[in-house]
Amino acid sequence: MNVDDLIAIDIHTHAEEPCCGPRDDGYDEFQAAMATYFRNPAGKDGMLPTVHDTAAYFRERRIGCVIFPVDAERETGFRRYANEEVAQIAAENADIMIPFASIDPAKGKAGAREARRLVREFGVRGFKFHPTLQGFYPNDRSAYVLYEAIAEEGAITLFHTGQTGVGAGMRGGMGMRLKYSNPIYLDDVAADFPDMPIILAHPSFPWQEEALSVATHKPNVYIDLSGWSPKYFPPILVKYANSLLKKKMLFGSDWPAITPDRWLADFEQIEMKDEVRPLILKENARRLLGL
């Protein structure tokens, strides 16, 4: 990857299309509800980009991307996209793509073994967690065996925080519980794993100030700005991005729910200092990822 040739690094893109043949029961309805929430045609018509499609899209725009699946088999019944497959496709597109993986913490020691293998044999650089979709509190000590493996392998963790489009508008919210994604629970994780980088994904509505507090207090905590159009960023988030946390904010789109084209266009319209924009778009991610 020639980072100097890139205009940005997107720290938050999803491998959404199932790898295991026909979609599982309920998956179409789930994706259609997500598309409605994000006002995005992707998903409504059953067409989602493959990882190869994603690589081509980002290469055309000269934007590097971190890509990952989400292992939520236990809570949703949807088979996960194989971590190995995502990593292999990312390796084939290493000029533009960086692989993260996802493991449900409920898999315990088996999950920890998988994490070590993915880092050592497949070049996985980090791990995505979605507390609401996976149904766990991030500071639950049962998850620590997995965090220990990730930390010892020198990998990065990325946690969904705040409200989610998953289950939004569906009966009972598809059983998803928002409480798990309050970023304050990650303060414990940051204290207990002080050398493990932790990314708080998204503006953390309705807990934005909790996220800013944790990121300000803990040196190993970053915030990615994915999942929202920048025009909806709360003023306090923009204020911290322009000042105290300017070296800890990361560009992320939440592809395919939100496209980089849309995000970057709206980012141009908000009040951000000229010297801060390149930090958010590329330089902070370059440093965090060691590129």
Per-residue pLDDT of the chain (291 residues; tens, 9 = 90+): 999 999 999 999 999 755 555 665 556 665 666 566 666 655 455 567 889 999 999 999 999 999 999 998 887 777 788 999 999 999 999 999 999 999 999 999 999 999 999 999 999 999 999 999 999 999 999 999 999 999 999 999 999 999 887 766 778 877 789 999 999 999 999 999 999 999 999 999 999 999 999 999 999 999 999 999 999 999 999 999 999 999 999 999 999 989 999 999 999 999 999 999 999 999 999 999 999
**In whole angstroms, what is the distance from residue 202 CA to residue 21 CA?**
31
Q: Is 249 left (phi over 0), alpha (psi -120 to 50) or beta?
A: beta
**In whole angstroms, what is the distance from residue 42 CA to residue 34 CA?**
9
From residue 222, alpha-carbon distances to 51, 67, 134 in Å are: 26, 17, 21
Considering only CA atoms, which of 35, 285, 78 is closest in space to residue 166? 35
**SS3 category, 235:** helix
Name 223's bridge partners.
200, 249
Question: What CATH number is attached to the domain comprising 162?
Answer: 3.20.20.140
Residue 203 CA to chain centroid, in angstroms? Answer: 12
Length of the chain: 291
Name 127's bridge partners.
101, 157
Q: Which residue range forms the structural domain that includes residue 126?
A: 3-289
Which residues are within 8 A (CB) of 73 and not within 5 positions of it... i.e. 6 or more apart?
A: 79, 80, 104
Q: In what order do the strands lie in the sheet with 156-160?
A: 8-14, 63-68, 97-101, 126-129, 156-160, 198-201, 221-224, 249-250
Number of domains in the chain: 1
The pTM for the full model equals: 0.91
E-only strand ranges, the chain: 8-14, 63-68, 97-101, 126-129, 156-160, 198-201, 221-224, 249-250
